[in-house]
């Protein structure tokens, strides 16, 4: 999760052209949509770039540690790395979905209520699909069904 936040922060820094969406603007105007489109594309590019290194390491060959403890440690590290890449693969699918919503004119609006998600929430989580309230209700329902 912290990797995801770091990559998003770097993407925000990479697209900085002194424009940051503000609450007092018309919601989801062309400048805001362009900002989020560029942010999402940069975020995706950063994730793909980071995953290229993992793929190269995997292609370099199997782990050949002579010591069993070293081999176990290396295999654990690989497992963590592969789980991270799988999370990032899922994140890329969410980024692609957000880009489609921008093209369809649905970006920035809650998929449950249709209400605006809010600029601050979208800046913090550009792939958000629900308002904070709808997300909290969703998580409460999820927890209740898990507890059953």
The CATH number for 128's domain is 1.20.120.910
Quick: pLDDT tens for 70-99: 777 777 777 777 787 788 889 999 999 999
Element of type H or E holding 113: none
**Structural domains in the chain (count):** 1
What's the confidence (pLDDT) of residue 80? 77
> Among all chains, which residue has been given the structure tokens 């590290």?
77
What's the confidence (pLDDT) of residue 79? 77
What's the confidence (pLDDT) of residue 8? 82
Residue ranges for the chain with pLDDT beneath 50 = none
Asked if residue 109 lies in contact with residue 22, where contact means CB atoms within 8 angstroms, the answer is no
What domain range includes position 113? 2-147
What's the confidence (pLDDT) of residue 55? 61
What's the confidence (pLDDT) of residue 124? 93
């Amino acid at each position: 999760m912290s990797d995801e936040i770091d990559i998003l922060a770097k993407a925000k820094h990479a697209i900085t052209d002194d424009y940051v969406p503000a609450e007092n603007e018309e919601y989801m105007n062309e400048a805001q949509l362009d900002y989020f489109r560029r942010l999402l594309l940069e975020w995706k590019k950063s994730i793909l770039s980071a995953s290229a290194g993992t793929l190269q390491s995997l292609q370099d060959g199997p782990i050949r540690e002579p010591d069993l403890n070293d081999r176990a440690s290396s295999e654990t590290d690989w497992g963590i790395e592969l789980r991270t890449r799988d999370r990032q693969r899922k994140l890329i699918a969410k980024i692609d979905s957000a880009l489609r919503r921008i093209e369809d004119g649905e970006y920035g609006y809650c998929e449950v209520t249709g209400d605006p998600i809010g600029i601050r929430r979208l800046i913090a989580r550009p792939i958000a699909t629900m308002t904070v309230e709808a997300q909290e209700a969703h998580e409460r329902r999820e927890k209740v069904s898990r507890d059953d």
